Structure 1
Amino acid sequence: MVEEILVGDVITTRKTHPCGSAEWTVIRTGADIKIRCKGCGRIVMLDRESFLRRRKAVISRGESPAQESCQ
């Protein structure tokens, strides 16, 4: 089962970032996933496979594209 990754999702990673935070916000999706650290603001781009391996849990979900276009 493939879980959908949405822009705006807040996730935790298995390892903490050097700043001490383990929470990240998804800011871009596609073949690569771009995430921003909630602690220091650093932006990291990972390929989808690496992102799915390093992700531990989804804390909150972003809005789906269908919901955004209706507003």
Structure 2
Amino acid sequence: MPMDLKVGDVVELKKQHPCGNHLFEIIRTGADFRIKCTGCEKQLWISRPNLERRVKKVISKEQ
């Protein structure tokens, strides 16, 4: 069953980005996700199974 990830959620990944940050914001969902590093603002595409495997913690967007 897929994880409940929404646009605007911030996720903490197990491995860090080359800039040293662990937190990424979800920009687009679907079969592939577009995520943005909250440190350097670099955007990248990642497949759903790959992202779900790498997620350590989900931080929902604040309402």
What's the TM-score, normalizing by structure 2? 0.89
**Cα RMSD (Å) of the superposition?**
1.6
* Structure whose alpha-carbon radius of gyration is higher: 1
Q: How does 1:50-69 map to 2 (within 5 A)?
A: 50-61=50-61
What is the deviation of 1:59? 1.7
Equivalent residue, structure 2, for 1:14: 14
State the percentage of identical aligned residues.
Answer: 43
What's the TM-score, normalizing by structure 1? 0.80
4+ runs deviating over 6 angstroms: none
- Structure whose residues are more often helix by fraction: 1
- Sort the Cα spacing of 1:62 and 1:52 in 2 relative to 1 into closer, same or farther, 3 A: farther
Is contact 2:11-2:58 (8 Å) kept? yes
Give 2:41's aligned amino acid. G
Alignment size in residue pairs: 63
Q: Which runs of 5+ in 2 are unaligned?
A: none
